[in-house]
Structures are given as C-alpha cells and as structure tokens.
Amino acid sequence: MAQQIAFLLVFVVANVFAIRSAKRIWDDIHLGQPIDRTDQPAERFKRMLLIAFGQKKMFKRPIPALLHLFVYLGFFIVNIELLEIVLDGLFGTHRMFQDSLGGLYPALINFFEFFAVAVLVSCVIFLIRRNVVKVPRFEKPEMTSWPKLDANLILVFEIALMFFLLSMNATDTLLHNSEGFFFSNMLTPLYAGMSPEALHIAERVFWWSHIIGVFFFANYVFYSKHLHIFLAFPNTYFSNLNPMGKMVNMDAVTNEVKLAMGMQGDSNMVPPERFGAKDITDLTRKQLLDAYACTECGRCTDNCPANMTGKKLSPRKIMMDTRDRMEDLGKAKRENGKDHHDGKFLMGDYISEEEINACTTCNACVEACPVNIDPLSIILDLRRYKIMEESKAPAEWNMMFQNIETSFSPWKFPPSDRGKWMNDMNS
C-alpha cells in the first residue's frame, strides 16, 4: 500500500507540472496574432501524416533518418508498456496483462524490447556524431553551451530509460524463473549471481527508476528543443499550403495601392498599427508555434546560401531567438501582468539588421526543415518593419525601390526599353 501511495503521489505531481508547462506554452504562442489555417483539412492531414508521422523530408539523409526513425518509433511504441507499469503502480499488481494475454504477452514485450535496443544504439551513435565526429551543423555559433548540453542530456536520458527498462525485465526474469524475453535475457548474466532478495530490490529500483525517469522526461521536454516530439504534428498540419515562392502580401498595402491607382478597393479598411513585425506580438501564432517546434537540427542553416558564404544569417538562430524572446516576454507578462512590456524587442535586441538583410528569400531553409518550419516568413516581417516603419534599408535597396516605383522594374530604364535587347540579337 505504501508503494501505491508513493506512486500515486509521484504520478499526480508529474501530471500537474506537465499541465502547467503545457499551459505556459499555450499562453506564449497566443501572444501572437491569430491566423486562419483551417482550409483544406484533407490536404493538411495528409501532409501531417507524410511529414510529421512518416518523416518524409528526413530521408534526404538516409542514415541519420533511419536512426531518428528508430528513436521516434521507439518513443511511442516502447511507451505503450507504460500503460501496464502505471496500472501496476496504481493497483499494486505485477505485470497485470501477463495472464490475460497468455502467449501474446512475451511477443509484445519482445517487440517493445527490440525498439528499446534500437533506441539505445541510435542514441549512442547520435552522441558520437555530436561529440566525437562533430558534425559541422552542430558546431555553428548559435549552438552555445545550453543547446549542446540539452541535446546531450536528452540522449543520455533516453539511453538510461532504455537500460532501466531492459534491466527491469532481466531481473524480473531471474526472479520468477520465466523465459521468453529475448533482448533483456542478454543482460541476465549481469545479475545472475544475486540472491532472490537482492534481485527483488534491483527489480524495484529499475522499475521506479524507469517510471520516474519517464515522468521527469515528460516535464523536462517542455523546456527543451525536444518539444518538437509533440508539436511537429500541429506544426505540419497548420503549415502554409501556398506554393513555396508565393509571398504573403499585406492587405492594407495592397488596398492602398488599388485605391491610389483607381482600382476597386476598400476605402473603410483600417490600416494596421504597425507594418511588419517589431516584436513577437506582431507575428502570427503559427510563426510562434514554428519557434517552439524547432528541432535545432540545423538543416535550414546548412542549406542557407547566405550562411554558406560567411554571412551572419542563420535561419536556425532566427527560430531560436524568436523562441527565447517569446519565453522572456511570456515570463515578464506572467510576473507583472498581461499588459506589461519589458522594453525589449525581437528586432534589435535579439535579431540584428545584418542578419535579416542577408536573406536572399530563396526558401532553402523552408524546403530543408523536416517539420515545415518557415523562418523566411519571420525574416520578411522583420525586414518589412525596418523598411516601412523606420525607413532603414541598404542604399542599394533604396535605389531598387525607386526604380520599381518609377520604372516598374529594378533597373533604371523605362518599360518601353525592356525589349531592346531582342532587337540587338536579331540585327
């Protein structure tokens, strides 16, 4: 009974903290502007299945993708066994489903253990890639001490959880002289010389270590980049279905241009308080969801042509800075009231002009992201603010803007002269 009470207490505390963390994430995302992404539900669901569940974009790099698939599937499949562990903890039973499932039970445990071993091996390889091989995209300037530590901690947690699970089964096998657990049986030589009393204690230690580790992981993930485990699904569902090269125009600007040119427009449309985005409150909720869904894998930065040529822009840093700003402002509002502002802004205090001006709007970062994050949309909104609100643009851009305004093209010659090059070719 004492163990049941202890388990119930741990279970309730873990869930209370998880719910509070989930609400914090929800509130932070709702600092942004609402956006309607509920059209074409069938296409959105299909995209979510292919990209989030099927990890379609990951397989552009087959070996890391296969290892990630094992970890991903293992996370969901191995944790099915948690149902039995939780019920055993609440009701004081031992392997509640063993008798009712009969011969199917060891088959299921072997299935779970296969993925436990696959997760363990994959995480060891990932640790080697990060810390020994040192894959270049994990060594970029934005990958400071915390992002590196966070990634390593998660991998170590997962290795420990799988070891606790396999050891729990191994000691339980020895304790009850049972057979049929193929993978955990490989660990039985480690515990074969122990007395029944010691085996019982070891089995309980591994059981408690595994379940407490799972509860700890479930709460830690809300403060980690590994929140993408859950947010990849809504993020891909609500992703932009427009062709990748299509930029979203500002309705107020389009309306003003129409009215100025004598075209049909809405003379009653109220202009926005601010053109573009200065802070996260000017971004959409989908853009803020992008920031929390970021895996920090660096594929966006690895494929960014501006970053390749040594410029300061890193799309991964844009997403990390957006998330940092969202968390900072969300914390300030929770502590000081919802109308509080801490005097800082995303543009300037977190992201610099040099970064956003380096972007070529090529969409390479969007194409590369395995969960359909769109750093480009944030860059464009920040750039629009600098140009339209503060009139800050590189001199070369101002000349281009003037040419477009007067000649309807980036080049300084009238539209009537555009076809002259063809005449020169024919002569």
Q: Which CATH number fits the domain that encloses residue 378?
A: 1.10.1060
374 and 287 Cβ atoms separated by less than 8 Å: yes
- Residue range 197-241, pLDDT digits in tens: 999 999 999 999 999 999 999 999 999 989 998 999 999 999 999
Tokens 């040119």 — which residue? 261
**Contacts (Cβ under 8 Å, ≥6 apart) of 59:** 65
Domain count, the chain: 2
- Please, what's the b/e burial string for 352-367 (b: 16 or more CB within 10 A of its CB; e: otherwise)? ebebbbbbeeebbbbe
Q: What is the pLDDT of residues 33-44, one digit of tens each?
A: 999 999 999 999
Q: Which of 264-278, 360-374, 394-408 is the most confident on average?
A: 360-374
Which of 204, 237, 270 is the last residue in one of the domains?
237
pTM of the model: 0.89
Same domain membership, residue 179 and residue 106: yes
- d(CA 108, CA 112) in angstroms, rounded, equals 6
- Residue 371: name the closest of 199, 235, 268, 273 by CA: 235
User: From its phi and psi, is residue 270 left (phi > 0), alpha (psi between -120 and 50) or beta?
Assistant: beta
Q: Residue 395: how many CB atoms within 10 A of its CB?
A: 7
Higher pLDDT, 422 or 105: 105
User: Which residue in 311, 289, 305, 381 sits closest to 141, CA to CA?
Assistant: 311
103 burial class (0-12, 13-18, 19+ CB within 10 angstroms)? Answer: exposed
308 domain-assigned: yes
Q: What is the pLDDT of residue 427?
A: 60
Q: Quick check: 282 and 345 in contact, CB under 8 A?
A: no
Domain that holds residue 92: 2-30+61-237
Q: Are 148 and 129 in contact (CB under 8 A)?
A: no
Indicate whether 423 pLDDT > 80.
no
pLDDT at 2 over 70: yes
Domain end position, chosen among 208, 237, 266: 237
Amino acid at 206: F
Residue type, 25: I
Domain boundary among 172, 205, 237: 237
In a domain, 302, yes or no: yes
Whole-angstrom distance, CA of residue 422 vs CA of residue 427: 9
- 315 domain residue, yes or no: yes
CB-based contact 293:371 (threshold 8 Å): yes
Judged by average pLDDT, the poorest of 205-209, 370-374, 419-423 is 419-423
Average pLDDT, the chain: 90
* pLDDT more than 70, % of the chain: 99
Residue 421, domain member (yes or no) = no
> Is the pLDDT confidence value at 426 over 70?
no
